[in-house]
Structure 1
Amino acid sequence: MKNCLSSGLVLVLITVATSIYGQAAYTQTEKRLVYTVVERQPEFPGGSVALSRYLAATIKVPNALVRKNYNTGPVAAKFIIDELGYVRDVRVTTKPLDKKAKKGMQAFMANIIAAVEQMPRWEPGEVDGKHVAVFYTLPIEVNMQ
């Protein structure tokens, strides 16, 4: 029990220290380091233009949201790009949902998750010339017109 508490405290202190001092921050998941700051960011095959095209082609906005011209607000997909370039642990963040749009927004978020999970392999991020897992936040711009 004492070992669990002390190792948990060390992890918290490391997280606090890295965020305070601005050094390469990382978190521990599945016994692998996942960086938030790297020397070279992961890159989608073909770059940001290809990524925008991929998202436009694969993410569909549900008709319920289009009919209501619902303002989704800021939407972001957060995921890990592992050291081999595969996408893992996809999550979507959005503004709090009101009851009227909840069903449509849940379908929209499911579409985003499916599209991100099916992405081709990325060029992984690098630290000290080695491929590393990177936590990545991808803002999703929604245009209802």
Structure 2
Amino acid sequence: MSQNEIDRELLERLGPLAYRVTQEKGTERPFSSEFAESWRSGQYHCVVCDTVLFESDNQFNAGCGWPSFDAPVTEAAVAEHRDLSHGMIRTEVVCHACGAHLGHVFPDGPPETTGLRYCINGAALKFDGLGNLDK
């Protein structure tokens, strides 16, 4: 199978937004994700490969418009890379298993926990709920 066929198949499976975010390092509009202000108990998985990335227990309301977490489910779940795009110095977060772009991590998270804010595109995630109970 050629790379074009693989890309076409992935685009078909993910849809245009999730493909642009995960494969082309795009960003969804703030407050457009159903997960930006969702407080259900469960786990957030990579939309591309289904790897568990974040737990709802680590989600917090950063008010930034994207789902925010103070830590991944394990250190091995994500990888971080220096991102110099758009005239900024940031740290990109990707799925360690498949390399899908997830978002960025910033040092302005809750000081009482890790102090980090994993600002993640909801389009890069799928949710596996443990019921519909609010936190």
Q: Same fold (TM over 0.5)?
A: no
TM-score (norm 1): 0.25
Higher helix share: 1
